[in-house]
Amino acid sequence: MGMFDQYRPKPGISCPVCGASSLEWQSKDGPCALFVWVEGHAAPVEQMASDDCKLPPEERDAWRLPDRFEMFAECLCRTPLGAVGFAEEGVWTRTELLSPGNAVAYPDESERQFRRRLMGYAEHPGHAG
């Protein structure tokens, strides 16, 4: 298993299928340093590592998210979910479930693969796969 970061949208995002909340969102779009990011904050609020491996707070506070990043969760009802976070001037400001309207092609994704993925979003809002 590779490194990732954990994300906490505020307010939380509920599963569009069953309504469950308190989902655990993860992504590899950020620094992938086991950081915990909370919407509304510029820097990670924590690092999920042992004390001897954590960055000092002043170094952790220098990290920022990209302007657009994707995150994923799997609900207890087994629904895979995707969301897009947006940062403005270094601060995570909003989060939306992935949809055809906010999806972008991945660098290694063909136009055909991208269109097929978009069809999945249209059929299952929030579906990340």
* pLDDT tens digits for range 54-92: 999 999 999 999 999 999 998 889 888 899 999 999 899
CA neighbor of 67 nearest in space, from 96, 37, 90? 90
- pTM of structure: 0.83
Element containing residue 94 per DSSP (H, E)? strand 91-97
* pLDDT tens digits for range 11-26: 999 998 899 988 999 9
pLDDT, position 71: 94
pLDDT, position 123: 60
Element containing residue 69 per DSSP (H, E)? strand 68-74
d(CA 82, CA 72): 5
pLDDT band of residue 122 (cuts 50, 70, 90) is low
CA neighbor of 7 nearest in space, from 69, 54, 49, 58? 69
